[in-house]
């Protein structure tokens, strides 16, 4: 095909496009004179294309504003206009060359206003979905708790809360230590919500809950095609999600040794390398980590890098175990009873004095989390609004026995067993005010079995 033939073909295609039956296109020059009038307009305006071209647009289309757009250079999109006895949605667009308006084009966008309303409804629904998605994302990446949610008035708890409040706005890394169930994550939430970053993301990851082979991609993200099964467009890691906010790494002592140098580099350089990428991403974030392990011991045992330990151990906050703040137990009991009533949709229940006495004297190796679980259990199984001693797990009565020797002498073993039985029965009788029927029920044995055992261990 020669150059002239190609030009001719292009002109034909352009002409067909202009005259297509789905668009009523009108083009005017800077003076408002019609220069293009598509054939689909002929029936609507009762004038042929040849007759319309060269006439002022206002003579052919009385209600038009094309001449105004050609003069002002400002587009008008979405106006309704009466065309052929029906309201249609039109658009008017300035035509410019070298920054100067030389004309305007007008076309029908929707032939029926009903179509426009349908489109507007779809756009509105889409916007609602986007808004819901953004709200959900904001909820997922936000801290839920404040310092007011950390219940207790003991000196040990007040001290750690005051120390944490003073550290809220520092960019330094915070290491929260404490036994399982003491509320380390709760403290991390509160620190974020008390900081200038509170409106930014709060991203958390439990290092012990993610398989070692997946934790790298979870933390650092990955590029498209980085490995088999990778998402088509890649994935943002936790550090990138926490941009300008806080990232909380729980159980940092479980971080695989091979990944610890990357964590150290991120802290030093404030940049992250996605899996499969050679281009580091600069980040601003605040890091809070927590552990129930002794990291110094882990360093000595070769399970944790010494340089990372010192990098993390800038500000250390210790959450006290419940046995060190027993004066807070009554307050915590009331707090959790109220919480469980709301959670389970029941009346708020209360413990009998005997049951409460057990809760106050127990050492709580599982700390606040164990107390909450016991209260939830009691709230669920209690038949009335009072939680009796029978609804308290018998393990709370069992004394902490010393570990047995590997090869105990029979007489020593028997003596220890007898003493353990005596101690358990004494506690059961103590909690039930020497009511043997209740004590047997508490221990989960028949009354006759209780009498027999009491006689056997010298209590009768």
Instruction: Give pLDDT tens digits for 301-317.
Output: 999 999 999 999 999 99
How far is Cα 30 from Cα 456, in angstroms, rounded to an integer? 114
Query: Is it true that domain 147-320 has CATH number 3.40.50.300?
Result: yes
Three-class DSSP category at 305: coil
Maximum C-alpha span of the chain:
123
CATH number of the domain located at residue range(s) 323-392 in this protein: 1.10.8.60
Asked if 216 and 227 touch (Cβ cutoff 8 Å), the reply is no
Q: Where are the domains of the chain?
A: 14-114, 147-320, 323-392
Please, what sign has the CA dihedral across residues 249, 254, 258, 264? Answer: positive
Alpha helices in 345-409 (DSSP H): 353-361, 367-381
Letter string b/e over residues 327-358, b meaning 16 or more CB atoms within 10 A of that residue's CB:
ebbeebbebbbebbeeeeeeeebbbbebbbeb
Evaluate if pTM is beyond 0.85. no
What number is the average pLDDT over the span 101-109?
Answer: 86
Angle at 318 between CA 314 and CA 322, to 5 degrees: 170
Q: How many residues does the chain have?
A: 460
Beta bridge partner(s), residue 290: 176
Question: What integer best gives the mean pLDDT of the chain?
Answer: 82
Q: For position 407, what pLDDT does the model report? A: 42
C-alpha Rg value of the chain to the nearest Å = 38
What number is the average pLDDT over the span 42-54?
Answer: 86
How far is Cα 450 from Cα 441, in angstroms, rounded to an integer? 10
- Sheet with strand 315-318: strands edge to edge: 202-206, 246-250, 286-291, 174-177, 315-318
What number is the average pLDDT over the span 222-239?
Answer: 70
How far is Cα 446 from Cα 443, in angstroms, rounded to an integer? 9
pLDDT at residue 96 above 70?
Answer: yes
Between 223 and 196, the higher pLDDT residue:
196
Asked if 205 and 193 touch (Cβ cutoff 8 Å), the reply is no
- Sheet with strand 86-97: strands edge to edge: 34-37, 26-29, 100-110, 86-97, 76-83
Q: Which of 419, 415, 431 is nearest to 459 (CA)?
A: 419
How far is Cα 12 from Cα 196, in angstroms, rounded to an integer? 64
**DSSP codes, 155-196:** HHHHHHHHHHHHTTT--S-EEEE--TTS-HHHHHHHHHHTST
What number is the average pLDDT over the span 85-112?
Answer: 81
How far is Cα 66 from Cα 187, in angstroms, rounded to an integer? 64
What confidence tens digit (pLDDT) does each residue in 250-289 have? 999 999 999 999 999 999 998 888 887 777 888 899 999 9
Q: For position 406, what pLDDT does the model report? A: 44
Q: What are the percentages of helix, strand and coil residues in the chain, rounded to 5?
A: 50, 15, 35
CATH superfamily to which 14-114 belongs: PAS domain (3.30.450.20)
């Amino acid at each position: 095909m020669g150059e002239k033939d190609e030009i001719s073909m292009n002109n034909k295609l352009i002409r067909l496009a202009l005259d297509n039956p789905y668009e009523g296109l009108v083009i005017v020059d800077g003076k408002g004179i019609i220069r293009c009038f598509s054939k689909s307009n002929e029936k609507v305006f009762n004038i042929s294309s040849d007759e319309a071209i060269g006439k002022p647009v206002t003579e052919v289309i009385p209600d038009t504003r094309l001449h105004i757009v050609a003069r002002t250079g400002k587009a008008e999109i979405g106006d309704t206009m009466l065309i052929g006895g029906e309201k249609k949605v039109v658009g008017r667009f300035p035509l410019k060359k070298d920054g100067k308006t030389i004309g305007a084009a007008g076309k029908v966008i929707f032939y029926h206003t009903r179509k426009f309303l349908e489109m507007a409804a779809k756009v509105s629904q889409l916007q609602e979905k986007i808004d819901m998605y953004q709200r959900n994302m904001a909820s997922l990446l936000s801290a839920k708790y404040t310092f007011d949610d950390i219940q207790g008035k003991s000196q040990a708890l007040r001290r750690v809360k005051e120390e944490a409040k003073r550290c809220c706005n520092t960019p330094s890394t915070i290491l929260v230590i404490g036994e399982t169930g003491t509320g380390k994550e709760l403290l991390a939430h509160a620190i974020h919500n008390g900081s200038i970053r509170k409106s930014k993301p709060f991203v958390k990851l439990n290092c012990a809950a993610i398989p070692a082979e997946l934790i790298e991609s979870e933390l650092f993200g990955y590029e498209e095609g980085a490995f088999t099964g990778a998402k088509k467009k890649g994935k943002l890691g936790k550090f990138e999600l926490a941009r300008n906010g806080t990232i909380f790494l729980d159980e940092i002592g479980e971080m695989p040794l091979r990944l610890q140098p990357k964590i150290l580099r991120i802290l030093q350089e404030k940049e992250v390398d996605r899996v499969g990428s050679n281009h580091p991403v600069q980040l601003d974030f605040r890091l809070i980590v927590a552990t129930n392990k002794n990291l110094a011991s882990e360093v000595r045992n070769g399970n944790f890098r010494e340089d990372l330990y010192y990098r993390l151990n800038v500000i250390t906050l210790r959450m006290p175990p419940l046995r060190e703040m027993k004066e807070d137990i009554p307050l915590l009991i009331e707090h959790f009873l109220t919480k469980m009533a709301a959670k389970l949709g029941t009346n708020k229940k209360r413990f009998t004095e005997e049951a409460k006495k057990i809760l106050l004297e127990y050492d709580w190796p599982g700390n606040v989390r164990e107390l909450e679980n016991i209260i939830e259990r009691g709230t669920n199984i209690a038949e009335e609004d009072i939680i009796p001693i029978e609804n308290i797990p018998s393990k709370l009565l069992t004394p902490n026995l010393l570990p047995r020797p590997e090869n105990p002498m029979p007489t020593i073993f028997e003596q220890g067993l007898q003493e353990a039985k005596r101690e358990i029965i004494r506690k059961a009788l103590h909690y039930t005010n020497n009511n043997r029927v209740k004590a047997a029920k508490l221990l989960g044995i028949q009354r006759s079995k209780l009498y027999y055992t009491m006689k056997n261990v010298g209590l009768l």
